[in-house]
Structure 1
Amino acid sequence: MSECKKELKIAVRNLVEFVLRTGDIDSSFGGSNRAAEGTRLHKKIQKAQGKEYSSEVFLKTTIEFDDFFLTVEGRADGVINEDGCFTIDEIKTTAVPLESIDEFYNPLHWAQAKCYAYIQAVNENLDNIKVRLTYCHLDTEEIKYLVEEFSFAQLKQFFDELVEKYHVWARLAFDWQIKRDSSIKDLVFPFEKYRKGQRKLAVAVYKTITEGKKLYVKAPTGIGKTISTLFPAVKAMGEGHTSKIFYLTAKTITGGVAKEAFAKMREKGLLLKTVTLTAKEKICFMEKSACKPEKCEFARGHFDRVNEAIMDILTREDEIKREVIEQYAKEHRVCPFEFALDLTLWADAIICDYNYVFDPKVYLKRFFSDAGGDYTFLVDEAHNLVDRAREMFSAQLSKKEFLKLKKAMKEESPKISKTLNKLNTFMLTMKKLCADNDYYVSKEEQSEIYLLLRRLIGECEEYLAEKAKSGVENEDLLQLYFDVLMYIKISELYDDRYVTFVEKSDNDVIIKLFCLDPSHLLSEALKRGKAAVFFSATLLPLDYFKEILGGGPDDYTMYLNSPFEVNNRCLMIADRISTRYQDRDKSCNEVVQCIKSTVQAKKGNYIAFFPSYQYMNMIYELVEKECSDIRVYVQSASMAEKEREDFLEHFKADPEETVLGFCVLGGIFSEGIDLKDDRLIGAIIVGVGLPQICYERNIIRDYYRNKNRLGFEYSYMYPGMNKVMQAAGRVIRSEDDKGVILLIDDRFTNPSYLALFPNEWFPYVRVAGSNISENIKKFWNGHGG
């Protein structure tokens, strides 16, 4: 292959689906959501074949155009070689009765297999080759074969026509990449100078990408983490080290920071296409998301119009965010969510939630279903991924739902009702295992439930598919069906990093496949890309996060110090007060006096953070009585977006009176908010942030106690201190910010906690209620305030 020509790649499946798709989006129930079962049967069928059968055969061919190459590649499910007579095997699992499947059932299945057959014929210099479609029923495991023989000339004509239709798109991608790479070559850092530590981070990110490693970075607020990761990633892309950048976030607000960073680079001449993904329920044009042609005009005929919409937006837009996607989707009458997913194939960078890379339910299979690619994952606020990963890799079922639907389905479907009754009985057996406790834990799976769940899946599919024909829906049964599918899917991942956890309450029993240690599954997910950078202001201890977020011994860690002047903050520790649960009644007056002394020392805006709503409300009632001259606003348990905005509006610049917010550690106001300048001049943190003691946390503790003797640290201490650091980080957001941080708890000066302090927390001042005000006034006098 000539070195001077650029190579473009496309997967066989993506090529076929993109060029040949037509018609409607139709999510009417059809049993197409059983990926875990399908994977299991795929492997089972492959293993049952003879010695002449090779499974998962990688095939590729390259087509030369005037100034670029197009490589079409993928993995054939099977290649059969019987004394030089070849057959391509394409395996499809289905819930459709096999008697309904004939050679006209799905043209895309034939097209995919014929592409593999063509490539194999080229590689082996064959005049003829057979194609076999192997359909396996998900419930009965009965198999039906459709076999057809093709000449090389037939396959070449088919493949050439397919590639010819795709040529205009390949040309679009090639021309864009030439312009993009030229702009990247000329791109300079979009700020006048690097901040302290910023260049060091950028160099480390570039090195990580070029070497295909993982990097875990404690990068403090103010260093410019986003531009320091995106700029070197873009530079690496221009040099061919990575083909796509995924900027992964836990919250929408951090995605906005990435968009701002790309905008800054565009001001310096960068040409780069970015797509921001928005959750389906947020971007859907319908009041209630229903992807059915009879209910949604955007689903009806979507595939007939979507390629034209893609061409339109790609030739006119570079920053493809939610509003832009909605505008073009309305113009072309296509589903905005599916449209956005298609656009990711053409984007240079994708800004999206963690789920799209890591979650086994929703990750972007168009990129990751085969071996992945040379992608770069930039994981923002990476401390959030630990609990999110546990949630993604766990699944649970409820006895209450089995019982409710057992009664509801008694007349509708006695067969389903009977299976639900057996599941309800099984859950009662689980309840007995709890004995006098409220929970039961086992390292082993309760595998007898799987037979009942698989039976329920089959019965639900038959019932729901029949009802769908007449336009009737049973949303409760459909939701249970999906919950059961997810439970089965997660069961495929079950190993010694899991436990089966049963919890009983007065009116329910929950059975949960609980992922205690997500490190292995995250490590496997990261293989979908080439390199990954995890960064956060509170990624401490680094070794803990490196281990639990899937790092290996050859991966990198980096600790960067704050670029801000340490004298701009006053860190105090009131370490004569216990905020432990059993001591709260006795120490509440001391806590109140500490808060009072802090906020009365200087007029301004403050937030006090508490480990729970109950504790927060208890202190709030006392502060209200003692501090009538201060405006106090309290976070409520479930605040809508407008209520959150209203809450933050109370923290105005240059306030005329003191404002005190009461918030919970780990909540919506303890991270991700940016109250710069004097919109926040103080944070009071009550307690060391330990997660509430519960069965699940204790199970995690016991697991790590056995694994590395750090059970309490991994389960309680490290997550707690992370919340404390996040809350404290609200105060100093820029080099001009100044403020005070008061930590209230006797544990903060314990050596094990001091060891977790970031460098910028030293030196600190130990205080009692009597000298807090004195220290604060001294601090502000030193800053002319």
Structure 2
Amino acid sequence: MGDTAEIIKISVRNLVEFIFRSGDLDNRVGGRREADAMQEGSRIHRKIQKQMGSSYTAEVPLSLTLPICREDIEFLLVVEGRADGIIKEEEAVIIDEIKGMYMDLEYLSEPVPVHKAQAMCYAYIYALQNELEKIGIRMTYCNLETEDKKYFEETLDFADLSQWFERLKEQYAKWALWQIKWGRKRNESIKAMEFPFPYREGQKKLVSDVYLTVLRNKRLFIEAPTGVGKTISTVFPSIKAMGEGLVQKLFYLTAKTITRTVAEETKQLLTEKGLLLKAVTITAKDKICILDKADCNPDSCPRAKGHFDRVNEAVFDLLTSEDDISREKILEYAGKHEVCPFEMCLDTATWADMIICDYNYVFDPNVYLKRFFQNEKKNDYAFLIDEAHNLVDRAREMYSAVLIKEEILQVKRLVKGKDKALEKALDTVNNDLLKLKRECDETKEQENVSDLVLHLMHLMSKYEDFLTEHKDFDGKDEVLSTYMNIRHFLGIYDVYNDKYITYTDYTEQGEFFIKLLCMDPSDNLKTRLDKVKSAVFFSATLLPIRYYMEQLGGREEDYAVYAPSPFDKENRFIAVGRDVSTKYTKRNEKEYRKIIEYIRVFTESRQGNYMVFFPSYQMLNQIEELSRGILDNVTVQGSSMTEEEKEGFLNDFTANPEATRIAFCVMGGIFSEGIDLKHDRLIGAVIVGAGLPMVCGEKELFRKYYQETRSSGFEYAYLYQGMNKVLQSAGRVIRTTEDKGAILLLEERFLDNRYQELFPREWFPYQVVNKDGLKNLIDEFWQSN
């Protein structure tokens, strides 16, 4: 076989899970399905491995390279992984596969087929490389709470194992062959691909910076003002890098559906220019499910029955029949093969070149796509992380965990009389929480909750037994939801370190809770970022850049770049009102009337559409009421708008409107980022206040923590988040190089140095005005434009 033979790598685990899965999709099976999804699993592994004698070697890397020739195409299939343990005794060698679970091991009468297949793969590789005629396999199941163990052992002849592995290789070879053929076709189209627009100022450098980041396996942080064309400037060079073999898969990660659409449109634009690329957008389960409410089991959904027997064929059919994979195509092929469209979408992603999805699917410990990140080695993937400023708060939330006392009591009511052991375990946890509640009047930090954690582990094991026995009962959803919350809580406790604090408090409804609060998510994000080749974080608002780099897992050697704004400064007007304050102590009718007067002068200067952003619904509503009779044609953002209402709201921003329209919105809300009102669909924005979050117990804990660790408590807890909302809101104006627009910042604090340091470069120079001086300046701006 020539030196240039292409290499296809797959982990032992992914290989057996892919080829050997079968049967029904069933959300009612608690234990077995979750057996190896637990983070505690690794703790148990280490513990069992340490207890074994000198004949036991733990974590043994094994790999096998198989030359394959199909349809005149020669390639190498590399199967690799780590055996949990290898036992070498005088007479025999045994491969040990360890699995931790919460379920009572009494319920386990045979090994889970996929686990046995994993052990058999390692056994085959080891026996082949060490010329053994026979080899043993052992599946070690361990209860995570009691640490009871159950073993399943077997001795295999190498000849039988060899036949078994040959069949496995054959089944996978057709997929590997497709992958190679498609890769060649795709790479040819990438080589011919040109940048689809004339380069704007600074854009060519940005494209080259992204390419070099992928080439050098680095992380890049880009502060790129609106209009730079962030999506095309990151997607294009990353695809080019894929064509050069530098990266195998791209993940385009977003916080909101609207930015996902931009990524899809960018990919589609390149497709129209001749690019061949399989891109899959992962849609939330409830949006793509064929049922009114997702319930994945054979009794509720006809497609769940035998789903795993048919899904590989469905995916192969889709991949070989369609170059362009859309949501509609996934629904069509899922219908044709009668499988679940959501699960099929995840499986298709395994073979896609580009995956467009929410941050969750990569970073969230509960829903991340394990198939991509569970092997030990670094993967040839690149992450493109859009609107990256959102990831700080999202990550803190993902890596925090909360338990509500009332939920535990509710589960106890729902299972009453069904399972004594579970009721007793719920009681113990409830008593732990009651004890904490008696000592807690308001936000209170807790030093040690290890007793509660031990009781939760015991509860989990009783929970597992209950769910194994009871498949259907009233209140099942609530019982399962609390189960998932406890599982998450224990998972987070497992990674708890000095970047966490634990506190107790009450919800707005008066429910008592305990929270493991992630203060700094960088370590958690790094565990995922370290598994991929490179990552590009980009946003119009990453100021101060060192804060975002630090929180998002940047390293000393990573780059930060600022893409210059392509806008002509003559086309925009920025002013700060020096005599307005939105501090809590100054919120009164007199101050509000002054704000209304500013808005009136600002919006009367030129007919058009304007947005006014407020720090809260409360202030928005009070000012709206006072403005009646002074401001005409005011519309207001509702507090929980449906997709249709949101669409309608934006559609009213027409080009060349016949009358001035003023929309009152909330900073940090759905209209303050991610929406694109080009040209004169929006000509001005008024930002009322500095967007600082409300003072509350949790925010004060952040302030205290960052005051102690960085001497920047106020900045980390309030200022940076507030200013980000301000910058995002202001960024709704001036979306293309032809746009002209005005921004008015109403808050005297904007003249303070701490705030000024967070102004983007393109905001300088700006005017400082009072309401009398504003009229002449804004009139002058619009006359000259």
TM-score, structure 2 length as denominator?
A: 0.96
Match of 1:432 in 2: 438
Q: Return the letter of the residue paired with 1:72.
A: V
Q: 2:61 aligns with which of 58, 63, 71?
A: 58
1:517-536 aligned at under 5 Å gives the runs 517-536=520-539
CA shift digits 1:684-709 (9 cap, x unpaired): 00011111111111111111111111
Distance 1:308 1:179 in 2: 22
Greater shift after overlay, 675-684 or 80-89? 80-89
Q: 2:113 & 2:306 partners in 1: Cα distance?
A: 18
> Residue type of the partner of 1:240?
G
Determine which of 228, 234, 249 is the counterpart of 2:233: 228
By how many angstroms is 1:306 displaced?
1.0
Whole-angstrom distance in 2 between the partners of 1:414 and 1:111:
37
Equivalent residue number for residue 202 of structure 1: 207
Specify whether residues 226 and 659 from structure 1 end up closer, same or farther in structure 2 by C-alpha distance, changes over 3 A only. Answer: same
Deviations 1:275-311 (A, max 9, x none): 1101112111111111101211111111121122111
Instruction: Kindly provide the CA deviation profile for residues 428-465 of structure 1, in whole angstroms up to 9, marking residues without a partner as x.
Output: 2212332xx411013x3411111221222122222222
Equivalent runs, 1:599-678 vs 2, <5 Å: 599-627=603-631, 630-678=632-680
Q: Distance in 1 between matches of 2:523 and 2:666?
A: 32
For residues 378-409 of structure 1, give each alpha carbon's deviation from its aligned partner in whole angstroms, at most 9, with x where no partner exists.
10000000000000000101112223333444
Contact 1:497 1:515 survives alignment (8 Å): yes
Q: What amino acid does structure 2 have at the position aligned with 1:189? A: F
1:362/1:460 CA distance change after superposition, 3 Å: same
1:323 pairs with 2:328: yes
What is the alpha-carbon distance in structure 1 between the residues aligned to residue 94 and residue 578 of structure 2?
Answer: 75
Distance 1:55 1:418 in 2: 38
2:755 corresponds, among 753, 757, 774, to 753
2: CA distance between counterparts of 1:235 and 1:355?
A: 26
Report the Cα offset of residue 471 of structure 1.
Answer: 6.6
Rounded to whole Å, the distance in 2 between the matches of 1:88 and 1:425 is 44
Structure 1 range deviating more: 476-485 or 80-89? 80-89
Partner secondary structure for residue 374 of structure 1: strand
Task: Using the TM superposition, give the Cα deviation of residue 610 of structure 1 relative to its aligned residue in structure 2, in angstroms.
Answer: 0.5
Aligned pair partner of 1:340 in 331, 341, 345: 345
* Distance in 2 separating the partners of 1:208 and 1:565: 29
Which residue type is aligned with residue 523 of structure 2? H
Given candidates 45, 48, 65, the residue that maps to 1:45 is: 48
Does residue 214 of structure 1 match 2:216?
Answer: no
Q: Does 2:184 align with 1:178?
A: yes
SS of the aligned residue for 1:464 comes to: helix
- For the 8 Å contact 1:53–1:79, the answer to whether it is kept is yes
> 2-side partners of 1:211 and 1:445: how far apart?
44
Structure 1 residue 344 displacement after superposition:
1.1
Secondary structure (helix, strand or coil) at the match of 1:781 reads helix
Counterpart Cα distance in 2 of 1:325 and 1:495: 42
Question: Deviation string for 1:673-730 (max 9, x for gaps)?
Answer: 1111111000000011111111111111111111111111111111111100000000
Q: 2:693 aligns with which of 686, 691, 701?
A: 691
Aligned to 1:571: 574
Per-residue deviation, residues 619-649 of structure 1 (Å, max 9, x unmatched): 111112322xx21111111111111111112
Out of 304, 307, 313, the residue aligned to residue 302 of structure 1 is 307
SS in 1 for 2:524: helix
Letter in 2 for 1:391: E
Residue aligned with 1:770, SS: helix
- Residue 559 of structure 1 is matched in structure 2 by 562
Identity %: 50
Residues matched between the structures, number: 775
Alpha-carbon contact 1:406-1:418 (below 8 Å) kept:
no
Distance 1:427 1:473 in 2: 23
Letter in 2 for 1:271: L
Give, as a single letter, the amino acid of the residue that structure 2 aligns with 1:182: E
Partner of 1:550: 553
1:300-325 per-position Cα deviation (integer Å, ceiling 9, x unaligned) = 11112112211111012233232221
Q: 1:297 to 1:267 in 2, by over 3 A?
A: same
Greater shift in the superposed pair: 349-358 or 580-589: 580-589
1:343 is displaced (CA, Å) by 0.7
For 1:738-757, what per-residue CA distance to the aligned partner results, in whole angstroms no more than 9, with x for missing partners? 11100001011112211111
For the residue of structure 1 that corresponds to 2:771, the secondary structure is coil
Match of 2:619, SS? helix
Map 1:10-29 → 2, pairs under 5 A: 10-29=10-29
Rate the CA distance shift 1:96–1:508 in 2: closer, same or farther, 3 A.
closer
Moved more, 418-427 or 708-717: 418-427
The one-letter amino acid of 2:75's match is F
C-alpha deviation, 1:38, in angstroms:
2.8
Residues 443 and 698, structure 2, Cα contact 8 Å, conserved in 1: no
> Distance in 2 between the 1:445 and 1:542 partners?
35
Cα distance in 2 for partners of 1:445, 1:677 equals: 57
Work out whether 1:379 is the aligned partner of 2:379.
no
Which whole-Å CA distance do the structure 2 matches of 1:408 and 1:117 have between them? Answer: 46
The residue aligned with 1:86 is 93
CA distance in 1, matches of 2:108, 2:433: 38
- Mapping of residues 418-567 of structure 1, within 5 Å: 418-434=424-440, 437-442=441-446, 444-468=447-471, 474-504=476-506, 507-567=510-570
Q: What's the secondary structure of 1:668's corresponding residue?
A: coil
* Secondary structure, counterpart of 2:39 in structure 1: helix
Please tell me the residue identity of whatever aligns with 2:520: D
Equivalent residue number for residue 76 of structure 1: 83
Counterparts of 2:424 and 2:252, CA distance in 1 = 47
1:267 to 258, 269, 272: 272
Task: Find the aligned partners of 2:134 and 2:462 in 1 and give their Cα distance.
Answer: 43
Is the contact made by 2:40 and 2:494 (CA closer than 8 Å) also made in structure 1? no
Q: What is the alpha-carbon root mean square deviation over aligned residues?
A: 1.7
Uncovered stretches (5+) of structure 2, i.e. residues with no partner: none
Q: Deviations over 1:243-292 (max 9, x none)?
A: 11000000111111111111222223221111110111211111111110
Contact persistence 1:464–1:473 (CA under 8 A): no
Query: Which residue is equivalent to 2:412?
Result: 406
Q: Distance in 2 between matches of 1:375 and 1:262?
A: 18
Q: Which amino acid in the other structure matches residue 292 of structure 1?
A: N
Whether 1:368 and 2:370 are equivalent positions in the alignment is no
Secondary structure of the residue aligned to 1:740 is strand
> Deviations 1:480-536 (Å, cap 9, x if unpaired)?
111111111110011111111100367421100000111111112211211100000
C-alpha separation in 1, matches of 2:579 and 2:297:
63
Structure 2 match to 1:239: 244
Residue 291 in 1 paired to residue 291 in 2? Answer: no
- Residue 316 of structure 2 is matched in structure 1 by 311
- Separation (CA, whole Å) in 2 of partners of 1:634 and 1:608: 10
Instruction: Return the alpha-carbon distance in structure 2 between the equivalents of residues 64 and 504 of structure 1.
Output: 62
SS at match of 1:441: strand
- Single out whichever of 388-397 and 146-155 deviates more from structure 2: 146-155
CA 1:416–1:84 in 2, change beyond 3 Å: closer, same or farther? closer
Could you tell which deviates more after superposition, 152-161 or 400-409? 400-409
Query: Structure 1 residues 423 and 102, CA, compared in 2 at 3 Å: closer, same or farther?
Result: closer
Which has the larger displacement, 133-142 or 755-764?
133-142
- Opposite residue 12 of structure 1, the aligned amino acid is V
